[in-house]
Amino acid sequence: MATSGTFAFAPSAADCVLNAFARLQIRATELTQQHLADAYNESNLLQVEFANRQPNLWTSELYTVTLVASTATYTLPARLIAITAAFVSTTSGSTTTDMIIGPVSASEYAAYPVKAQTGIPNVYWYNRQATPQITLFPVPDDATTYTLSLRVLAQQEDASMASGTTLDLPYRWMDAFTAGLAARLAQIYKPEMADRLDARAERSWTIAAKEDQEDVPLTIAPAIGGYYS
């Protein structure tokens, strides 16, 4: 049996738009400037929806901040959407030591009586404003230089229809994107098809999301040490 021998299927954003309209039985020769303007907006709004239905592992990246003594709060780039892991690093000679720190809520952070207490940070409050901030506790001391490393989920690059630009998403999400875009465009151009295409889009998203996860064992152990002390 002969196969292609290639692994190059990477349709442009414009190709995905044409396919989405085809699912609405709107052919390329029927498209107007308004169709393309709506497709541009709905493509980017669909990426907002994907971001809100976290996690999307292909958007994961490492972001680092050099901490400043006696400074608790740091402004993060607006494109950072969620923090999945955080650790503080110290370096002595050629050895770097990483210490995982955990999240607290706004109310938990508010309950700390002495927020200016200094030491090695061991928790953080992620303040999810339009431009997010992270606040550490204890506040970094001046004993050494600390580096904060954040494993984050970031915003996708904008979807653009021009010049054969491809989408900022992996192969396994192509169908979910096209199905989602078709469902969104159906609300504008073919409302009678919207329910059916919504169901198809949800199915495609579920399949992609099920695959987009780390395949590792989960171990849950109770903290029972106190019972045997």
DSSP codes joined into one string, 5-61: -------BHHHHHHHHHHHTT--GGG--HHHHHHHHHHHHHHHHHHHHT---GGGEE
* pLDDT higher at 212 or 30: 30
Our measurement of the distance from residue 127's CA atom to the centroid of its chain's CA atoms, rounded to an integer in Å, reads: 16
- Of residues 10, 30, 6, 9, the one with CA closest to residue 18: 30
Asked whether the beta carbons of 60 and 151 are under 8 A apart, the reply is yes
Interatomic CA distance for residues 180 and 53, integer angstroms: 13
| 3-state helix vs strand vs coil in the chain, percent to 5 | 40, 25, 35
Categorize the per-residue pLDDT at 220 as very low, low, confident or very high, splitting at 50, 70 and 90: confident
Which pTM does this prediction carry?
Answer: 0.86
pLDDT at 222: 74
Predicted confidence (pLDDT) at residue 180 exceeds the cutoff of 60: yes
Mean pLDDT of the 64-80 span: 96
- DSSP code of 118? E
pLDDT at 33: 96
- Of residues 65, 67, 64, 63, the one with CA closest to residue 121: 67
Asked whether the beta carbons of 164 and 11 are under 8 A apart, the reply is no
Mean pLDDT of the 126-138 span: 96
Predicted confidence (pLDDT) at residue 166 exceeds the cutoff of 60: yes
- DSSP code of 225? G
